[in-house]
Structure 1
């Protein structure tokens, strides 16, 4: 049978799982416990047979969503969490131990950077490297290195990691390769194509798409043989070794830590996921048009966006991401323009700390989501004090451009304001 395309597969995913009463969407299952007519069957589910026992470990609703994400990523299985950060925390805390070494891109989300600090306090050694070149990663590998982690496109500097080169290095070195696919989504990029062992998606962003539900997932691509990873507990060394890692993440990271995705947000995200490709294409097109327009504007000092030919990883992004460049950008205002004054003059754009919404969102990055890092760490990441992060939505292109033009006209650079 011919394999359906991306959107067709997601649209019809639920009904092909034999949904109750012929519904086309898997309904919400809010029950916290699941009963069985026979006690032996209940015991069998606890011991590994497919089924549901207690909602902390998943429900039929989350299972249907996980099936969608697995299909999106061409993976073998997925575990869902209440947030993307819960998903990342589960990966790091269940697969790494005291004395292990984690290699991580230096261009990472602020909360992820904070989580790395917690890992260091727990005895995990962390080294930050410029992941835009796999040679930097290779040079930092140590005898105790267990894992390499990077985002696809950095937030908000938009650096694009050397995803394929790092994947080759991890295969050769037997390292667990983890990719955060949030900024690209499985529509633009699949971690499996780069050889990732695990792919994390923040469902709160492009997959859900509407800014009204939190969630995160970890997908196992099936490419990593966990027999070579020393930190798998004996209890989970059963069945095919390619499933051991995700089993441990589910048992130790979800069951034990309790970062469970509830049925209602899971349902909302699953419905939102049906239009991922359509929304993503529109947002990417808007972002490219806006970036090109702002690049030559006298009120803008610099635009950080992979779709611009001057971007250091422009060619790489075009090759990796379906000829698209994502929907997030960073803009640095010209000298003399106050970032707060500029932002307050935007009317279509929403001032909010989120991304991947249908609406265009903006915030002053150094003063908000990266404030806790301090000036030295921000400088290392290339985050200027005037940098504004813009998550471009699906509004009409002309309205977005007009909104930015009007705000810039009301905040002329210092040289023009005094002339």
Structure 2
């Protein structure tokens, strides 16, 4: 099916699993335990053969969603988790150990940034770098470096990492290259094209799309040679070595740490994903129009959006991404109050979250980045008056009119 279009593959993914009664959607399996007429079947599942024994590790509904995300990401295997943060933390804690070193973009989602401090408390070294500059990434490498972690488009200032150059560097140095693809999603950007080892996505955002389900995923691209990685437990070094990393994440993460997704949430995400291409085309078109409007407005000091030619990584975004995404941020001119502006908006909802059908906005500094403090915000390029917007699927004219009247 690789020659088929993105949406064609997704909307037919479930029914091609030969579901009962000709169903086109995978059903919701709510059972926690799974019984076997022959106990050998239960033993086989515990020994790693396909099947279901306990819902913490898998259900048929979960398997169907994982199959769908694997197709989206062009990988060899996918695991889903209770949230995007569960997927990120599980990846770090199952593949890194005390004494290891992680190179990480300093332009990070607030909660991910917070995790770096937790990792350091566990004895894992972390170096934060300007990931738009490959020289900084290379200079941070140490003898104990095991992994490089970046986001495609940073939240909220929209910096774009040197994705291609980092991929070449990680391949040459045999480092695990982890890309958080949430803000682009697999529809806008194929992370395997820049040699990502693992692709992490918050499914709660553009994949689900409707603000009604939490979930996260980790996909192994099949491009990393896990035989060269020193942290794979001996018990997982069996069978196809391409599956060693994802097997360790599953056993140590889902089984031991329990960050499992419910079948109900998996079903909502799966159904939501069918319209991702349609939604994102509309959202990206709306975002570009709003960014261009705001950049010309006299009350706006600066707009941060990769689709603007003024953006420092505009050429990178144009080359790598199908469109420029649906997240934008802006600074008001001195003397204007961002909270007053937000309260004057009628269509736009004052809320945290990204990738929703509805346009959402919030003041960045006192909310999602309040905990990290002024100094860290300044290093990330976040002003104290910054507003972040997640652009929805509203009619473009209505959205522009709402900002026009609020700014007036």
Give the TM-score normalised by structure 2.
0.99
Q: 2: CA distance between counterparts of 1:3 and 1:131? A: 33
Structure 2 residue 67 is matched with structure 1 residue 67: yes
Per-residue deviation, residues 24-52 of structure 1 (Å, max 9, x unmatched) = 00010000010111011110111011000
Please give the alpha-carbon distance, in whole angstroms, between the structure 2 residues aligned to 1:125 and 1:266. 34
Query: Judging changes above 3 Å, is the alpha-carbon distance between structure 1 residues 2 and 163 closer, same or farther for their aligned structure 2 residues?
Result: closer
Shift of 1:3: 2.8
Find the counterpart in structure 1 of residue 119 from structure 2. Answer: 119
Who is 1:415 aligned against? none
Cα distance per residue 1:171-207 (max 9 Å; x no partner): 0000000000000000001111110110000000000
1:398 Cα deviation after fit: 0.6
Change over 3 Å in CA distance of 1:394–1:201 after alignment to 2 = same
* 2:246 aligned with 1:254: no
Residue-pair matches, total: 408
Q: Which residue of 2 aligns with 1:226?
A: 226
In the alignment, the residues of structure 1 paired with residue 109 and residue 251 of structure 2 have an alpha-carbon distance, to the nearest angstrom, of 26
SS in 2 for 1:90: helix
Per the alignment, do residues 168 and 262 of structure 1 end up closer, same or farther by CA in structure 2, a change over 3 Å counting?
A: same
> Partners of 1:48 and 1:252 in 2: how far apart?
14
Residue in 1 aligned with 2:157? 157
Take 1:6 and 1:124, find their aligned partners in 2: how far apart are those partners? 38
Secondary structure at the aligned position of 1:56 is classed as coil
1:71-102 Cα distance to aligned partner (Å, 9 max, x none):
00110010000000000011000000001000
Corresponding residue of 1:275 = 275
- The aligned counterpart of 2:96 is 96
1-side partners of 2:2 and 2:369: how far apart? 47
Partner secondary structure for residue 201 of structure 1: strand
Runs of 4+ in 1 over 3 A off after TM superposition: none
- What CA distance in whole angstroms lies between the structure 2 residues aligned with 1:153 and 1:26? 32
1:293-346 deviations in Å (ceiling 9; x for gaps): 110101111000010001000010011102x11000111011111111111111
In structure 2, the residue matched to 1:414 is none
Tell me, in whole angstroms, the C-alpha distance in 2 between the residues paired with 1:189 and 1:2: 16
Of 197-206 and 132-141, deviating more is 132-141
Aligned residue for 2:259, secondary structure, equals: coil
1:2 offset after TM fit, Å?
Answer: 7.3
Which residue of structure 2 aligns with residue 185 of structure 1?
A: 185
- Please list every run of 5 or more consecutive structure 2 residues that lacks an aligned counterpart in the other structure: none
Distance (Å, rounded) in 1 between the aligned partners of 2:150 and 2:228: 21
User: Matched residue of 2:257: which SS?
Assistant: coil
C-alpha deviations, 1:198-230, integer Å up to 9, x for none? 000000000000000000000000000111111
For residue 328 of structure 1, what is the aligned residue in structure 2? 327
Could you tell me how far 1:143 is from its partner in structure 2? Answer: 0.5
Residue 369 of structure 1 pairs with residue 386 of structure 2:
no
**Matches for 1:5-404 after TM superposition, within 5 Å:** 5-322=5-322, 324-404=323-403
In 1, the alpha carbon distance for the partners of 2:299 and 2:80 equals: 43
Residue deviations 1:105-132, cap 9 Å, x none?
0100000001111000000000000001
Provide, for residues 6-64 of structure 1, a one-character-per-residue CA deviation record: whole Å limited to 9, x for no partner. 10000000000011111100010000010111011110111011000000001111110
String of CA shifts for 1:137-166, please: whole Å, max 9, x gaps.
011111110000000000000001110100
Deviations 1:270-294 (A, max 9, x none): 0000011111111000000000011
